[in-house]
Amino acid sequence: MVAPVTTSAGGGAAKAAAPGRGPARGNVLAWLVVVPFLAYVGVFLVYPTVLVLAGAFQDSNGAFTLSNLTDLMKGVYLQAFWRSIELSAITALLGAIFGALLSWAVASGRPEGLLRRVVVAAAGVLAQFGGVPLAFAFLATVGFQGFVTKFLQDSLGVNLFSGSAWIFELPGLTLVYTFFQIPLMVIVFLPALDGLRPQWREATESLGGGTWTYWRHVGGPILFSPFLGALLLLFANAFSAYATAAALVSQGSPIVPLQIRGFLTGEVLLGQENLGKALGLGMVVVVGIAMGLYALIQRRVSKWQ
């Protein structure tokens, strides 16, 4: 899962040398304190990551090869990448638009009010901890025995699945993904809306402008960058998502994360394991680009605060 990143402005200022000691000795001892943390992160985060990224370039004997990467560019794998990108882009857009609307509706209310607390807490749950339960919620609603399915069948005689089992394919994934994309948008975008100072609205009015003027000249331009950044974040989030899709789709691997699942659960030809790592590398590249752009936009935004 992906969560908002805020880049802090400016690192440290003065070097704090221990009083009474030479700077060199003080610093060496000071560094010892952070070694445990660095070592831990090195072992449990950096090392596995490097294994994957390096493994993408190795064949089953450990020798350097680009064949994994070239295999990625064809057939099933390339299709999976396109579908992942399509899914992520569409749900990012849907999430961004409806999430922005919902954020606005919430931001207009009282900051300590109940509505806001409930929406923010609910958004947190769905956006970051929904995973498997979300898949089951989806099934309970529009699954074969779902509440809405039965309602439509019994009351309106409409069969939700007259065509296909779409809920287990891209359309279904798109629908269920909105259930964590819209909430994530609320979490990411609400601070941006809070940053719109009431004085700007009032100043616009005192100068003779109305609602449209305000949004066109002040609110819109100011929110543009945060909106774009949020869109990128949502894209990265959908692209990396696994749990919901895994719980929903037990057969077939329409998107990249599920493809990787296939490799880990042994559904793959011998000698092809590193192809899974290549898929991982591909994912890291796509998500990395999206997050990199997001960080750049964040830096620009913070200049105005």
Partner 1 sequence: MGYLELKGLRKSFGGAPALDGLDLDLTEGELVSLLGPSGCGKTTALRIVAGFETADTGHVVVAGKDITSVPANRRDMGMVFQAYSLFPNMTAAQNIEFGLRLRKASGSERGKRVDELLELVGLGEFGGRFPHQMSGGQQQRVALARALAIQPRVLLLDEPLSALDAKVRVNLRDEIRRIQTELGMTTLFVTHDQEEALAVSDRVGVMSQGKLEQLDTPAVVYREPASAFVAQFVGVTNAVLGKAESGAVRLGTFTLPTDAAADLADGSDVKLIVRPEDIGIVEHKGESNGSLLGSVLTQSFLGPVTRLVIRLDGDEQTIRVDQPSNIAAAYPPGTAVALDFAASRFMVVQA
Partner 2 sequence: MAVTAKPPRKVAGTVLRVVVLVVLGFYFILPLVAMGEFSTRGINNTRSLDSWTGIFEDPDLVDSIVTSVELAVLSSVLMLVLLVPTMAWIRLRLPRMRRVVEFLCLLPLTIPAIVLVVGMAPLYAWVNYFLGDSPLTLTFVYAVLVLPFAYRAIDAGLAAIDLKTLAEAARSLGASWGTVLWRIVVPNIRTALIGASLLSVALVLGEFTIASLLNFETLQVQVNLIGKRNAGLSIAVSLACLVFAFVLLFLLSYVGQRRRVTVVED
Q: Based on the shown chain and the rule CB under 8 A, indicate whether residue 57 belongs to the binding site for partner 2.
A: no
Among partner 2, partner 1, none, what does residue 145 contact (CB within 5–8 Å per kind)? partner 2
Using CB under 8 A, pick the residue from 21, 31, 78, 217 that binds partner 2. 31
CA gap 190, 105 in Å, rounded = 10
Give the chain's largest Cα–Cα span: 85
CA gap 227, 101 in Å, rounded = 12
| Smallest distance, partner 2 to C-beta of residue 48, A | 3
How wide is the angle at C-alpha 83 spanned by C-alphas 71 and 292, nearest 5°? 85
CA gap 23, 6 in Å, rounded = 32
Instruction: Name which of residues 154 to 183 contact partner 1 (CB under 8 A).
Output: none
C-beta closer to partner 1: residue 184 or 192: 192
Q: Based on the shown chain and the rule CB under 8 A, indicate whether residue 5 belongs to the binding site for partner 2.
A: yes
| Smallest distance, partner 2 to C-beta of residue 74, A | 21
Q: Give rounded-to-5 percent helix, strand, coil for the chain.
A: 75, 0, 25
Q: Based on the shown chain and the rule CB under 8 A, indicate whether residue 158 belongs to the binding site for partner 2.
A: no
CA gap 184, 189 in Å, rounded = 8
Using CB under 8 A, pick the residue from 213, 284, 287, 295 that binds partner 1. 213
Instruction: Name which of residues 221 to 260 contact partner 1 (CB under 8 A).
Output: 221-222
Residues whose CB falls within 8 Å of the CB of residue 190, separated by 6 or more in sequence, listed in order:
103, 106, 107, 120
Among partner 2, partner 1, none, what does residue 179 contact (CB within 5–8 Å per kind)? partner 2
Residues whose CB falls within 8 Å of the CB of residue 165, separated by 6 or more in sequence, listed in order:
none
Instruction: Name which of residues 116 to 155 contact partner 2 (CB under 8 A).
Output: 117-118, 120-122, 124-126, 128-133, 135-141, 145-148
Q: Which positions lie near partner 1, rule CB under 8 A? A: 197, 199-200, 202-210, 213, 217-218, 221-222, 303-305
